[in-house]
Structure 1
C-alpha cells in the first residue's frame, strides 16, 4: 500500500472510504471473502486506538474484489468479529 491515511476516528475513516467507493459491507457479507479469499485484496488499512483505553482498538479495511466491488470490513474489540474472521483477513493480499 502506497498511501497512508490518519483519521481522527473509525467513523471518519468509513466516511472517507465511502467517498472513494468503498460502500459494500463485508461485515454482513464476510462469507464472500471466507469462501474465496483469492478474489479479494486489501487496499486500505486503518488502525485506531482509543485515547483512554488501549483495548478500544479498531481496524478498518478497504477491500476490493477482482471484479471491482469495493467495501469495508471493521474489526475491533467491541465488534462481534471472531478469530475465524481474522484468519481469513490474513489470507488476503495487500495491494502494494
Structure 2
C-alpha cells in the first residue's frame, strides 16, 4: 500500500494508476453510474484502502477504496465516510467493506 497525506492525493494517484471509475455506495451494492453497472459484494475486490481522519471535525473522517470488479471489467474509486457518518448498508456490504485496524 502507498501512503497519502490527503484524500485528494489518494484519489488522484489511484486514478492515474488505473482506478478510473467513480463509484457510489448503495445499501446493497456499489454503483458505477457512468456504466450503469452495479457490483454486489460477491462481484468485487477491495485492492487497497486509505483512511483519513480530520484533525478536529468527525465529519472529516473518510475512507478511500480502490476497487476492482472480479471479472476485471472495471476499476474504480469509492470514497465514503466512516464512523457515525458512514452510510446505512446491508450486513453483507458492511462485511465486504470492513477493514482491519
Q: Output the TM-score relative to the length of structure 1.
A: 0.72
The alignment covers a number of residue pairs equal to 87
| Residue-by-residue CA offset, 1:21-77 (whole Å, 9 max, x unaligned) | 0011111782412xx321200001000011233442100000001222100110016
Q: Quick one: higher RCO (CA 8 Å, sep 6+), 1 or 2?
A: 1
Q: Does 1:45 align with 2:42?
A: no
Query: Residue 14 of structure 2 aligns with which residue?
Result: 17
Note the aligned Cα RMSD (angstroms).
2.9
Q: Does 1:90 align with 2:95?
A: yes
Q: Does 1:58 align with 2:62?
A: yes
User: In the superposition, relative to structure 1, how do residues 92 and 75 fare at CA in structure 2: closer, same or farther (>3 Å)?
Assistant: closer
Is there any run of 5+ residues in structure 1 with no aligned partner, and where? none
Is there any run of 5+ residues in structure 2 with no aligned partner, and where? 32-37
Q: Does 1:73 align with 2:73?
A: no
Deviation >3 Å, runs of 4+: none
